[in-house]
Structure 1
Amino acid sequence: MTHMVKFSSIALAVLLAGVSGMALAQDKPVLTIYTYDGFASDWGPGVPLKAGFEANCECSVNFIAADSSIGTLRRAQLEGESTEADILLGLDTAIAGEARATGLFADHGLDLSHLVLPEPWTDAQFVPFDYSHFAFMHDTDNMPVPPASFEELIALPDSVKIAIQDPRSATPGLGLLLWVKAAYGERAPEIWAGLKPKILTITREWSESYSLFLEGEADMVLSYTTSPAYHIHDEDDHTIKAALFTEGHFPQIEVAGILKSSDQQELARDFLAFLASPEGQQHIPTTNWMFPVVDLGDKLDPAFAGLPQPEKTLTLPEEEITANSAAWIDEMLAAVQ
């Protein structure tokens, strides 16, 4: 009988140790961030950002990935007040207005006057963490001289094929839509109709269409002016370049925002401050293949230094995008289908 008592007391001690260990683990706050899968992947910025922030925060960062940033917003909308997300990371300025209109986001309260972007940043709710301009990639081995405008692209033989993305599911697809609208306004349907014979396919996600381009199925693909940096840095391949258009280019600025429903407001704010700091920003270029939003000086990888950039950045007011994007998507689909 004494053996039984002894065993029980040891078991109890072990059990209590386990409970206190759990309590300690639970005392450490968890910051939950909804993002897109590329950001949270093993090779994405999420890994070094998590390590860098956790080194000083006495917390743990948990990334939960959706297949796209539009997907993260839809998920947070569905979950509403009960969402476990503290931060949504990876929305861009094209859907920021729609995100803002949900009323789910809190003001960040940060001083972002140190940021370097195509236009001054004044947004009270969203913090930018990278940017680039949308552009069509071409391979100089197959297309030594690319078209220098949408109209030149339309004028090429119909044997020239482009791969683009669906504006309903992929942020670059929506970016292309806004680019055409910002450059051509009322003439947008005419541009889409002109592009129709050139469109090999409209893929759900960016990666699908980029693969078609790399495999030689498409002559050009919608991507970013910074995409060549990946091929230069990782593959020492200088043949893939962005075609610069005389109309100018539409930017993608990726942003993060704190949800009002989060019970980790201060921690979330600290993370966004870290994300927009030189320390956080140094991880962005060679993991997300976009420009940082701060001047990294000689810490910016040389693969980015020589990239040609648009002379003209096109923009549209957020209110106009939010009010009209659904109609513009219908207009585009009607023209190309």
Structure 2
Amino acid sequence: MKVLILIVFLFSISANASKRSIKQLRDKITNQSSQLNKLAAQIKEIDNQLGSSNNRYLAKMKDIEDFEKKVEQLKGELSTSAASVSKEVELSKLAFDRYLLEVSDAEVDTSLKAKKIYYEILSKKLKKLKKAQAASNKNLQLINNYEQKIGSIKKEEESLYQFIMELEKRKKEYGQEYISLMEDKNQSEIVLDKVVAKLRVRKKNNLKKNGVLFQLDIPLEKYVSINKTKEGINLKYSQTTPILAPRAGKIVYAGELASYGNVVIIDHGQDVRSVLLGDLVAKVKKGDVVNNKQLLGYTIADLGNVKSLYFEVRKKDIAQNTANWLAKKKVNI
């Protein structure tokens, strides 16, 4: 007897330990799922930042390219202008020299005329040179402004590039952390499945030891309380309530039973029957095949009174400890 009590005690400890282990694993998986969701949100935020930053980086590169083209264009215009002015000066000198040769034998004072002509030529060219110089100064100023903008944009581009590289690094770190955490979560779920499976096997074996072939549901969804008897259970109710089949089977009896009230008996196979007895209205008849939780009838209620529906499991026509056959986990009996 002492050995039997010790075995039951050890089994109880083992079962409780398994339940605690299941709760701890489920809590761990819940926490891991929460962390995974947080990491996923962080990775998504980084992706959004990378998208906008890359667009800004490409825009900066385009600005630099446009400004560099303008600088090259202005430099080309400066070079063309300088060449044009130089050519005009050379042509003026040649024209003046030719004129001097033509008038060298004349009786007039060629020196005075030459100076006057040269002065007129230089005056015209000077005006052109001033205009060219003004245009060149304007272009030089534009070139200087553009080059300053290019330098400023390149600094922004470099800073933006560093920021993008930092985002890519963070994304990689978060991604590795996400993968590692996902693998841990998958492993936790595998361990949980194994523990649950072992507990189910243990529970099933324990039920078999008690002669329980399968489990049944409580036939009332709403009840006030449950009172256990030596064999069956009494389901207390205070209002009309649907009566549901505790398990699939075949109706072998539906009607009155002496002074006990109305009764419904279901054959579930394997020599197991369930009996429902009380003040009820049956909606099934003998020979009907019913599914699990199918409507069998209704309880009859009396205003202000609490009544009972008796539920009993019988195996080979022998009343069983019905409480052991119940599938519902939390039954207050």
Please give the TM-score of this superposition, normalised by the length of structure 2: 0.23
Greater percentage in helix? 2
Please give the TM-score of this superposition, normalised by the length of structure 1: 0.22
